[in-house]
Amino acid sequence: MKTSPAVAYILPFAVFIALRWLPFPPEWLAPVRFVAVAATLAVFSRRVIPRHDSLKPVLSSILLGAAVLAIWIGPDLLWGHAYRDSWLFHNSLMGVARSSLSVHLQSNAFFIVVRVLESAILVPVLEELFWRGWLMRWMIRPDFESVPMGQYTALSFWTAALLFAAEHGPYWEVGLIAGVAYNWWLVHTRNLADCILAHAVTNALLAGYVLVFHQWQYWL
């Protein structure tokens, strides 16, 4: 039976989300999820994961990723943790900006390495495949493969950005800005690889910020 082309774009994201709810201790869940998602990408998505083909977009993507990191942590730096405790971000719908990691996990080197690799390598690939590789095009036409990468319509652009924001819970407002930035970059470059790289830079820098300054609240 022929597999739908959407599987390559959707399945890694679905596996990643589903495995969040496994009844495993976090120190075991992290490597299990990493292996499962990496295997899903390798088996089902390898043909649709794009590569960079020029230097200029690479450098620009790195700068964009760094800019998104500045936007992500900026409000908390400017206004302190009380900003994130506002009812706009701390509520029953969005949750709360508090890390669920125990002190033990914060000093567990194996867990930290797996979490950093997941954040900086796997998550940018699986999220960009889903949000911008599939959803933005599918909303234009269900036969999404016939839609050029980066084609713009207001409905697809803003729906993807809003849903991407909702995925990030109490960080929804900076998630919205990040979603708009990544969407715009795809429209501008027409290359999903550029979005993956920008997203990877943001996540890698955020992981470094979490570890260096012990800002664990960014790892929910």
Of 161, 203, 156, 197, give the one whose Cα is nearest residue 178: 161
Identify whether 62 is part of a domain. yes
Identify whether 2 is part of a domain. no
pLDDT at position 189 over 90? yes
Identify whether 78 is part of a domain. yes
> Which residues span the domain enclosing 34?
7-218
- Asked whether the beta carbons of 211 and 136 are under 8 A apart, the reply is no
Higher pLDDT, 151 or 98: 151
Identify whether 1 is part of a domain. no
Q: What is the pTM for the complete model shown? A: 0.95
What's the mean pLDDT when you consider all of the chain?
94
**How many domains does the chain divide into?**
1
pLDDT at position 2 over 80? no
Identify whether 190 is part of a domain. yes
Amino acid identity, position 48: V
